[in-house]
Amino acid sequence: MATAITMIDRLTAWFGKAFAWCILIMTFGTAYEVFVRYVLNAPTSWAFDLSYSMYGALFMIGGAYTLARNGHVRGDFLYRLWKPRTQARVEMILYFVFFFPGVLALIFAGWKYASRSIGYGEVSINSPAGMPVYHLKTIIVVAGVLLLLQGIAQVLRCLQCIRTGQWDEAEDDVEELEQILLNRAQEEKAAAEAASAREARR
């Protein structure tokens, strides 16, 4: 069970980190567009297409990675008060009642849209450059499959928690900037208090 969780977590992490480069591509594309539009008065026909395709791809693929890292928003005003076993039981029920049906619908609907789009080489009607969109619709299916796999890993985590009474913590490879700044401020405060205490003892 632990091996399966680790393998799925690594797979979704690989996709999440690979698609994170979309942010850099989107940033350079937008910066280039701003420069040529407002400095050279020569706007491009592709910058908008680039930004929404990069953001769309990142948003879709990032869902499974965020789930693996327990990063989705959760209304936990009751959940946090429960014992881990109760949390795991409720969470597992919710995965089967809401999560899996929704993700399966995403995969099947995405497959229909993607196959139709690939069939006639669909391009965006809103794009002056006639950007193809079939690759973006294919990402819907890939994102759905990754979410399905990660959902299975989360259910396995629930089963482990029910058995052991404690959660198997997700890998912590990303830290919020706010948390980094808070930790740094606490360390500086502790160092200042220690220095003050040493000075008082002298």
pLDDT tens track for 106-165: 999 999 988 988 888 888 777 777 788 888 889 999 999 999 999 999 999 999 989 988
Q: What confidence category does residue 175 fall into, taking pLDDT thresholds of 50, 70 and 90?
A: low
CB 5: neighbour CB atoms within 10 A? 21
Query: Do 193 and 122 belong to one domain?
Result: no
Query: Do 10 and 99 belong to one domain?
Result: yes
Q: What confidence category does residue 184 fall into, taking pLDDT thresholds of 50, 70 and 90?
A: confident
Which range of residues forms the domain containing residue 195? 176-202
Query: Do 161 and 104 belong to one domain?
Result: yes
Query: Do 145 and 196 belong to one domain?
Result: no
Query: Do 112 and 75 belong to one domain?
Result: yes
pLDDT score recorded for residue 172: 67
If you average pLDDT over residues 73-78, what whole number do you get?
Answer: 76
Query: Do 102 and 183 belong to one domain?
Result: no
Query: Do 96 and 117 belong to one domain?
Result: yes
- H runs (alpha helix) in the chain: 2-19, 21-38, 47-68, 84-94, 100-119, 134-164, 177-201
Q: What confidence category does residue 73 fall into, taking pLDDT thresholds of 50, 70 and 90?
A: confident
- Give me the number of domains the chain comprises: 2
> Can you read off the two tokens belonging to residue 177?
């900037």
pTM: 0.78
Cβ density class 58-93: b for 16+ within 10 Å, e for less: bebbbbbbbbbbeeeeeeeeeeeeeeebebbeebbe
Distance CA 33, CA 49 (A): 11
Query: Do 130 and 202 belong to one domain?
Result: no
State the average pLDDT for the chain. 86
